[in-house]
Structure 1
Amino acid sequence: MFSKACEYGIRASIFIATKSSKGIRVGIKDVAKEIDSPEPFTAKIMQILTKNGIINSTKGVGGGFEVSPEAAKSIKLIQIVDAIDGNKIYSGCGIGLKECSEEHPCPVHHEFKKIRGLLLEMLKNTTLEQLASDVKSGDFFLKATNANN
């Protein structure tokens, strides 16, 4: 549903928010490793998130990426999605047709419209702080774990 860049952007934002809540800034290598993303690709995503005011970047010794706990309370998931993927997910056709509307619907139009509405509500109502808190609790994870470890 989301682009790979958006998936990584969401995971990176959550990871940074969990570390920031403990007063820790993280570097690009740590972010890329934690979200299982190639470092150059992660760097491009971080540029987008920083440019859009979602993540703060500090250069130099002791620098890195962070998001203040106050900002994490107000940053909604929709802001991350919009920054990376734009808003096409809320209006695009479920099977990718260029033209799909109430007057000329595709076979999944009506059901997909309901799903898009639910997705939009979740994105509007979920804060970065909520997601970071879920990960910090240990009940939710940002990357797959090997069951044999």
Structure 2
Amino acid sequence: MRAVFYIAHRTTDGSRVGIKEIAEQVDSPEHFLAKILQDLSRKGLIQSTKGPNGGFYIDDQSLKRPLADIIKALDGDDIFTGCGMGLSQCSEKNPCPLHKEFKKVRNQLSRMLLTTTIGQFNKDLLAGHLSLKKE
């Protein structure tokens, strides 16, 4: 997520950002991050170009995508439907000990991720209201 936000933040002017810079700025191993970003690029969440002026960027269409799309692309939709204890048989009819309370939290998280776009987050980041680095 931080890498996507960093890319959005750095490419609002139409520029591209390289993997070395992204990895350094989000404190992630370059090789690991490259695989993730390639996957997100294949799924259309971010864009990339090769060559001397290449790198990663985010287009206007991708800025309109909800944050949930990033989660789903990388981890599937378990965060939106899964059990708080990781049980496969947890349901309304067969609830785990955390079911009722976890369902509330999961639904709130789902709403936030589904209704907040990459672009909305980026506006707050560009305005200086948010930060991607720990201080």
SS of the residue corresponding to residue 33 of structure 1 reads: helix
1:84 matched to 2:74? The reply is yes
Q: Structure 2 stretches of 5 or more lacking a match? A: none
State the partner residue of 2:56.
Answer: 65
CA–CA distance in structure 1, aligned partners of residues 35 and 50 of structure 2: 16
- Residues 28, 39 of structure 1: 8 Å contact kept: yes
Q: RMSD in angstroms over aligned alpha carbons?
A: 1.1
The structural deviation recorded for 1:118 is 1.1
The structural deviation recorded for 1:140 is 1.0
State the partner residue of 2:119.
Answer: 129
CA–CA distance in structure 2, aligned partners of residues 43 and 124 of structure 1: 25
CA–CA distance in structure 2, aligned partners of residues 11 and 73 of structure 1: 14
State the partner residue of 1:103.
Answer: 93
The structural deviation recorded for 1:107 is 1.0
The structural deviation recorded for 1:119 is 1.1
- Residues 90, 120 of structure 1: 8 Å contact kept: yes
State the partner residue of 1:117.
Answer: 107
Report how many residues are paired: 135
TM norm structure 2? 0.94
Which of these residues, 33, 36, 41, is aligned with residue 32 of structure 2? 41
Higher deviation after alignment, 37-46 or 19-28: 19-28
Query: In percent, how many aligned pairs have the same letter?
Result: 47
Q: Structure 1 stretches of 5 or more lacking a match? A: 1-9
- Residues 78, 123 of structure 1: 8 Å contact kept: yes
TM norm structure 1? 0.86
- Residues 17, 72 of structure 1: 8 Å contact kept: no
The structural deviation recorded for 1:73 is 3.6
CA–CA distance in structure 2, aligned partners of residues 76 and 15 of structure 1: 16
